[in-house]
Amino acid sequence: MAWLGLVPNEHSSGSKTRRGRLTKTGNALARTMLVEAGWSYRHPPKEGQPYLKRSAHLPQHIKDIGWKAQTRLCKRYRDLSRTGKPQPRVLSAIARELAGFIWDIAKQTPLEP
């Protein structure tokens, strides 16, 4: 998440810690794509035909991570929006969590020789 610039900057001295805006260091294109992908979580979670066809060859544990991500991020999007958070902040939070799910899938997928 830090490589993508999706973590808050921090000013700390002693016991005082202040967090600010996103650092925006790292890969701007990847960060932009994740924030744009965050818009899809405003819809309810479902597994439509195109998704099922596209994911038919994937192992079950990866499909489970994807479903967990979809349900969690949809709920989080709605919860943050309902509390009145600004839309850019909601999308940044969703993008940050989505990066974590992507990292988890990449970590569990073995590299092919």
Residue 2 lies in a domain: no
- pTM for the full predicted model: 0.81
Residue 79 lies in a domain: yes
Q: What is the pLDDT of residues 49-92, one digit of tens each?
A: 988 898 899 889 889 998 999 999 999 999 999 999 999 999 99
Per the structure, the count of domains in the chain is 1
Residue 113 lies in a domain: no
Residue 13 lies in a domain: yes
Strands (E), the chain: 8-13, 16-22
Residue 3 lies in a domain: no
Mean pLDDT across the chain: 89
Question: Residue 89's domain spans which residues?
Answer: 8-108
One-letter amino acid identity for 92? Answer: S
Under a CB-based contact definition with an 8 Å cutoff, are residues 6 and 34 in contact? yes
